[in-house]
């Protein structure tokens, strides 16, 4: 059965689509995915998110909360094309799931709520898609909701997201009057004769929409031909242009990221999803349409590229690790070139380790089907990798290549966690390690001073879900402390520090001496590391072999924190002088000297504490907007703007310190009688007010 399914799906690369469904929370991604699976024949009954029955929301935590937490991979087929689809989370706490999915996808479907339009998290996922150059089409969903406004949603794609929407459809009616979809390519109206959305009929466009449809089609043609010289010439000469020519030109412009085709419908009411699938096949790229992947040869350190062909050497990127309680670690990967076979040996070029590929499986959410091999352009998972984690490259041993790693945001919130018993302690250590393997934005560390285990993540919900999994999946019994802010330390003025480590013992002594200069980095200076180290030693005052040791000691001191135990960020440290002893100098002595020099310089550089500032977007009925603004101001927030929508809902945008926002969900519920919602995303670090900084330093956070 599994082999037959695999054979049916193994197709020409031109007929493969690797796509993600991305959007703000509650825009209807999972419902849209569920419909895609139903119409593609992968499931025989549509489950609903609000009933906890959606195929891709299979975790207990997802079913209970009615949200997507982890990106789920699904393989389906439509019109002879294989569609590898990833349903991603919309909640900002799980933004890393979107990030890693977009890294390996060729195209995206951005879902918008027809009432809310471009929401805060829509901006985040759009920005991430821009970062990875992912072509996308837009689906304005929920056109059946009261207050749905198609044109407003389209204008927000331009105004908020700087997109270039090309309308392929218009809705006929909105809210309770949403009766059909006008197809501007075929100039027909699509109506549905049943509730399941399977009885599709095409009719003439009603007279009351004919003029608007003609104008919209003319605008659509104008927007398409401006990206194609041949069609532009035809258009100016008033020669006829076929729909096939328009679709081909639009596809090319979409793949280049110049246009964003827009469709509409209601996934919940089963309207418009088949047309969306047609657009995925017609307009989004196959692996052949995207440029060859570039990487570095780990031996020669030269840039190489691999084309999407089975004949090229193997290159694959692992983008997700999942701990399955029944089968162990599942590693999700995208094959960029070559063929990856079950039972074969490969090299993890990120770790320079050999790995043996165990079972290779194609994923259908939480269901798996074994396959013998996966080819270039495909997405699948494997069991049995020991040393491989998120962002690692797998390659052929005789042609190694190292692909670019996936960058993730740093955690901003921590809680202390303590096991109830000694037995729980061992279990907790193992479970936390597995969760950290799965989620690169989840970090575990032991506080040197208190011995407490601290877990850090992207937000309260993120940690709440991980702790819940700890209790349920791993059966760990533990107590969780209150959330703590992950502060940072930096300096505001240049300074010089001297670190001299001398110790005389019975035999040979220890001697290391380093002088460093540090300076703060400008906010607009782009850096890859929190601390930039520069070697400015001249004349051999410190031998070359000890400079690495100075850097190592300096970085360790910066990571441990100097003023209040929080990591140091945004400084440049230059090693300018020092001295050594022919006999007594050692790596350890210079490491300690580097640490001492940084501590000395740091305290002279007018040090300050920094706190994470969050972008906060609150959506509440208009009558509660005043209370919300007053409450945010009391939390030291800067109010950025207020927008009132046509459905009587206000959107308040603000920036607020994370330390003041703990428990905000409960406060907002109380203020708005349960009708408000908010999203919060890390924005930047800002200096802590002096009076508060003293308290934080004394109290250790």
Cβ burial, residue 571 (10 Å; 0-12/13-18/19+):
buried
Provide the pLDDT for residue 142.
94
Provide the pLDDT for residue 366.
61
- Collapsing DSSP to helix, strand or coil, 195 comes out as coil
- Answer yes or no: is pLDDT of 90 > 70: no
Give all strands (DSSP E) within 1-134, no chain letters.
16-23, 72-78, 81-87, 107-113
How many helices (H) and strands (E) are present in the chain, helices listed first?
Answer: 17, 37
Q: At what angle do helices 273-283 and 29-39 cross, to 10 degrees?
A: 80
How is residue 597 written in tokens? 């020099």
- What backbone phi and psi angles, to 5 degrees, belong to 627? -65, -40
Q: What is the mean pLDDT of residues 90-98?
A: 66
Give CA–CA dist 237/232, Å, rounded: 9
Provide the pLDDT for residue 409.
79
Provide the pLDDT for residue 698.
77
β 607-621/488-491 pair status: antiparallel
- Answer yes or no: is pLDDT of 103 > 80: yes
Provide the pLDDT for residue 52.
46
Q: Could you tell me if 338 and 313 are in contact, meaning their C-beta atoms sit under 8 angstroms apart? A: yes
Give CA–CA dist 312/535, Å, rounded: 41
- Percent of the chain with pLDDT strictly greater than 90: 49
Tens of pLDDT, residue by residue over 403-416, are 998 888 788 788 88
**Confidence band, pLDDT 50/70/90 cuts, at residue 100:** confident
Instruction: Find the helix or strand (DSSP H, E) in which 154 lies.
Output: helix 150-159
Residue 234: alpha-carbon gap to chain centroid: 42
Torsion angle in degrees (nearest 10) through CA of 290, 292, 298, 302? -120
Provide the pLDDT for residue 72.
64
Q: Give the residue, 124 or 467, on which the prediction is more confident.
A: 467
- Collapsing DSSP to helix, strand or coil, 177 comes out as helix
Q: What is the mean pLDDT of residues 17-37?
A: 83
Provide the pLDDT for residue 9.
38
β 188-192/200-203 pair status: antiparallel
How is residue 399 written in tokens? 């042609």
Provide the pLDDT for residue 160.
87
Provide the pLDDT for residue 197.
84
Q: Give the residue, 691 or 56, on which the prediction is more confident.
A: 691
Question: In this predicted structure, which of 88-102, 199-213, 242-256, 576-590 has the lowest mean pLDDT?
Answer: 88-102
Tens of pLDDT, residue by residue over 52-65, are 444 544 455 545 54
Q: Give the residue, 312 or 90, on which the prediction is more confident.
A: 312
Q: At what angle do helices 460-472 and 422-438 cross, to 10 degrees?
A: 130
Provide the pLDDT for residue 539.
85
Tally of CB atoms within 10 A around 599: 17
Tens of pLDDT, residue by residue over 11-22, are 488 899 999 888
Tens of pLDDT, residue by residue over 417-454, are 998 888 888 899 889 988 888 888 899 988 766 678 88
Q: What is the mean pLDDT of residues 297-307?
A: 90
- Answer yes or no: is pLDDT of 306 > 90: yes
- What backbone phi and psi angles, to 5 degrees, belong to 629? -65, -40
Q: Which residues pair with 573 in a beta bridge?
A: 518, 533
Give CA–CA dist 492/485, Å, rounded: 21
Give CA–CA dist 329/384, Å, rounded: 7
- Percent of the chain with pLDDT strictly greater than 70: 91
Give CA–CA dist 188/186, Å, rounded: 5
Q: Give the residue, 363 or 76, on which the prediction is more confident.
A: 76
Q: Could you tell me if 248 and 185 are in contact, meaning their C-beta atoms sit under 8 angstroms apart? A: no
Give all strands (DSSP E) within 37-187, no chain letters.
72-78, 81-87, 107-113, 136-141, 165-167, 169-172, 180-183
Provide the pLDDT for residue 4.
43
Q: Give the residue, 49 or 677, on which the prediction is more confident.
A: 677
**What is the value of pTM for the model shown?**
0.75
Give all strands (DSSP E) within 258-311, no chain letters.
260-264, 293-296, 303-306
Q: What is the mean pLDDT of residues 638-643?
A: 92
Tens of pLDDT, residue by residue over 235-255, are 999 999 999 999 999 999 999
Alpha carbon distances (Å) from 148 to 140, 143, 261, 645: 9, 5, 19, 11
- Answer yes or no: is pLDDT of 365 > 60: no
Provide the pLDDT for residue 412.
79
Q: Could you tell me if 456 and 481 are in contact, meaning their C-beta atoms sit under 8 angstroms apart? A: no
Q: What is the mean pLDDT of residues 325-329?
A: 72
| Alpha helical stretches, state H, 402-459 | 422-438
Question: In this predicted structure, which of 265-279, 393-407, 436-450, 513-527 has the lowest mean pLDDT?
Answer: 436-450
Across all residues in the chain, what is the average pLDDT? 87
Q: What is the mean pLDDT of residues 15-39?
A: 84
Q: Could you tell me if 489 and 609 are in contact, meaning their C-beta atoms sit under 8 angstroms apart? A: yes
**Confidence band, pLDDT 50/70/90 cuts, at residue 314:** very high
- What backbone phi and psi angles, to 5 degrees, belong to 293? -75, 140
């Amino acid at each position: 059965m599994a082999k037959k399914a695999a054979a049916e799906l193994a197709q020409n690369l031109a007929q493969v689509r690797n796509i993600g469904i991305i959007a703000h929370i509650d825009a209807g991604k999972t419902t849209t995915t569920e419909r895609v699976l139903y119409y593609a024949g992968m499931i025989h009954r549509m489950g609903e998110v609000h009933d906890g029955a959606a195929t891709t929301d299979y975790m207990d935590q997802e079913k209970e909360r009615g949200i997507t937490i982890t990106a789920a991979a699904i393989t389906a087929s439509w019109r002879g094309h294989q569609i590898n689809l990833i349903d991603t989370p919309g909640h900002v706490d799980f933004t890393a799931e979107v990030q890693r999915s977009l890294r390996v996808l060729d195209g995206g479907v951005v879902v918008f709520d027809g009432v809310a339009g471009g929401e805060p998290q829509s901006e985040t996922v759009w920005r991430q898609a821009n970062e990875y150059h992912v072509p996308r089409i837009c689906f304005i969903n929920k056109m059946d909701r009261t207050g749905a406004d198609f044109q407003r949603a389209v204008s927000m794609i331009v105004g908020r997201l700087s997109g270039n929407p090309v309308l392929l459809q218009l809705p006929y009616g909105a809210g309770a009057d949403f009766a059909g979809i006008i197809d501007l390519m075929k100039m027909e109206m699509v109506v549905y004769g049943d509730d399941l959305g399977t009885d599709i009929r095409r009719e003439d466009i009603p007279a009351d929409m004919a003029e608007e449809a003609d104008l919209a089609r003319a605008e659509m043609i104008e927007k398409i031909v401006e990206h194609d010289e041949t069609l532009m010439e035809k258009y100016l000469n008033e020669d006829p242009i076929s729909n096939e020519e328009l679709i081909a030109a639009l596809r090319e412009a979409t793949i280049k990221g110049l246009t964003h085709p827009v469709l509409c419908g209601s996934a919940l009411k089963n309207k418009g999803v088949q047309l969306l699938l047609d657009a995925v096949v017609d307009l989004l790229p196959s692996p052949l349409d995207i440029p060859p992947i570039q990487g570095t040869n780990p031996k020669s350190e030269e840039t190489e590229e691999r084309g999407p062909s089975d004949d090229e050497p193997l290159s694959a990127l692992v983008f997700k690790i999942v701990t399955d309680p029944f089968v162990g670690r599942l590693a999700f990967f995208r094959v960029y070139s070559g063929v990856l076979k079950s039972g074969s040996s490969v090299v993890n070029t990120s770790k320079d380790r050999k790995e043996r590929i165990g079972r290779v499986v194609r994923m259908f959410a939480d269901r798996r089907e074994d396959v013998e091999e996966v080819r270039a352009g495909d997405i699948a998972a494997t069991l049995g990798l020991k040393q491989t984690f998120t962002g690692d490259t797998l390659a052929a041993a005789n042609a190694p290549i190292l692909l670019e790693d996936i960058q993730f945001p740093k955690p901003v919130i921590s809680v202390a966690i303590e096991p109830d018993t000694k037995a729980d302690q061992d279990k907790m250590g193992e479970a936390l390690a597995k969760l950290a393997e799965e989620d690169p934005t989840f970090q575990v560390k032991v506080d040197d001073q208190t011995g407490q285990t601290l877990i850090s993540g992207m937000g309260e919900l993120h940690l709440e879900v991980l702790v819940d999994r700890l209790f349920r999946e791993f059966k760990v019994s533990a107590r969780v402390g209150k959330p703590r802010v992950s502060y940072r330390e930096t300096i505001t003025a240049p300074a010089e520090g001297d670190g001299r480590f001398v110790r005389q013992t019975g035999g040979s002594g220890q001697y290391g001496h380093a002088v460093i200069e540090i300076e703060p980095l400008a906010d607009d200076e782009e850096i890859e590391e929190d601390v930039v180290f520069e070697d400015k030693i001249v004349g051999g005052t410190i031998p070359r072999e000890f400079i690495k040791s100075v850097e190592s000691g300096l970085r360790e001191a910066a990571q441990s924190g100097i003023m209040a135990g929080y990591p140091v960020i945004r400084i440049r440290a230059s090693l300018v002088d020092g001295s050594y002893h022919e006999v007594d100098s050692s790596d350890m002595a210079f490491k300690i000297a580097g640490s001492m020099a940084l501590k000395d310089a740091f305290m002279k550089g007018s040090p300050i504490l920094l706190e994470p500032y969050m972008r906060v977007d609150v959506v509440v009925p208009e009558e509660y907007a005043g209370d919300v603004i007053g409450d945010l101001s009391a939390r030291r927030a800067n109010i950025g703007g207020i927008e009132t929508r046509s459905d009587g809902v206000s959107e308040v945008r603000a920036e607020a310190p994370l330390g003041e926002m703990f428990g905000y969900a409960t406060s907002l519920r109380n203020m708005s009688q349960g009708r408000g919602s908010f999203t919060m995303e890390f924005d930047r670090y800002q200096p802590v007010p002096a009076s508060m900084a003293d308290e934080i330093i004394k109290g250790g956070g």
